[in-house]
């Protein structure tokens, strides 16, 4: 691994772990913080929404925090057992977070545009994660690799959302239009990047 790739890898890991652990702030905070400040009192009192919200951010944070190490060939080769264990935890976390995310997407600020963006992201994440699991269960390693690349690209939307949102807020001068755009830009470019990464690596699935 050359110096540029090492730096990129370190930044990748720091972003994944940093954003992945951020949901703990919601757990240990004395009051509402972050996105909860923009929600109505009625919604914050809704038990189903709270289950969905905390299920989404906590399990999603877990998936983001542990998933990035799986892309290290050196780690995989030296830690087969740990790779499988982390993979199981990632799949469970991603599926729980995706299901919860699909549920709370209907309550996203910004109306139908933002709601559809987050719902589509959740559905795609569930699709690729489930297929990655199915592939490895039948020992189709190539398919597993491809689906996991797409799955984590969608998981990493938690990071790219936090990059896009402040930039778009400055550019557009308002939170709601920025949030609508970020609901799509947080994950669509990630999937496009994953597509070209898979092509560059020459991984082909039938």
pLDDT tens, residue by residue, 91-129: 999 999 999 999 999 999 999 999 999 999 999 999 999
| pLDDT for the residue 100 | 98
pLDDT tens, residue by residue, 189-204: 999 999 999 988 766 5
| Model pTM score | 0.92
| pLDDT for the residue 31 | 82
Listed as ranges, residues in the chain with pLDDT below 70 are 1-2, 202-206
Three-state secondary structure readout of 97-131: HHHHHHHHHHHCCCHHHHHHHHHHHHHHHHHHHHH
| pLDDT for the residue 1 | 62
């Amino acid at each position: 691994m050359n110096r540029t790739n090492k730096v990129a890898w370190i930044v990748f890991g720091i972003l994944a772990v940093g954003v992945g652990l951020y949901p703990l702030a919601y757990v240990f905070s004395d009051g509402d913080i972050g996105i909860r400040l923009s929600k109505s009192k009625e919604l914050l009192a809704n038990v189903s929404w709270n289950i969905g919200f905390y299920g989404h951010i906590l399990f999603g944070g877990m998936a983001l925090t542990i998933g990035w190490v799986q892309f290290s060939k050196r780690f995989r080769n030296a830690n087969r057992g740990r790779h499988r264990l982390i993979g199981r935890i990632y799949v469970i976390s991603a599926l729980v977070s995706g299901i919860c995310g699909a549920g709370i997407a209907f309550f996203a600020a910004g109306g139908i545009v933002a709601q559809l963006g987050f719902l589509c992201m959740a559905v795609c994440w569930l699709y690729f994660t489930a297929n990655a699991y199915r592939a490895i269960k039948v020992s189709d390693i190539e398919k597993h690799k491809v689906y996991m690349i797409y799955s984590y690209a969608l998981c990493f939307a938690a990071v790219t959302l936090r990059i896009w949102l402040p930039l778009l807020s400055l550019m557009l001068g308002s939170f709601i239009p920025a949030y609508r755009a970020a609901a799509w830009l947080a994950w669509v470019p990630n999937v496009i990047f994953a597509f070209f990464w898979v092509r560059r690596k020459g991984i082909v699935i039938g």
